[in-house]
A and B are shown apart, each in its own frame.
Chain A
């Protein structure tokens, strides 16, 4: 079966623009996580979905960041008014159940010029 996929693999945008990053989890996985990895750092938790609802969004850095998972499968991370500091690799992971083994996608490398 297919693993977690993320699109696009690379995204270059200009400061102030809006971007959307997509995550397709493993089919049947109920839990979905977003992380952000800056250069030289480990992944940093952003938000966790259980089904369609955001169960924990404590890692979102500010209100420019928003994520949805309307049908309990695909998720979109949305960033408004991008800033250069948003440049990072955005990783998505899914697990069959909350607390289960997380399978990561390859990430989307976002560059804000």
Chain B
């Protein structure tokens, strides 16, 4: 079945440093979605990318979808303590009916 892998599993940064998490799927994706889950909270939708090579920005966050639609990345510029949490990618395979979540990258930010 479809597998979605994320690296790194954990990332510890000093406030103000940049952060990137990478998502790789074993199969071509119809789209890719990114979610953030704060400690003790629930996943919150951040963004959806649909087109090959698509790049979207939300303030300090930059999302990319690979040309082959099998990988994606989330980059945060100048992290803040409010960025703390676990970032998940999720995406339905091109021929699959359901979305598979990656294992997530947990970000901690030291003030």
Report if A and B associate in a common complex: no
Interface of B with A (CB < 8 Å)?
A: none
Interface of A with B (CB < 8 Å)?
A: none
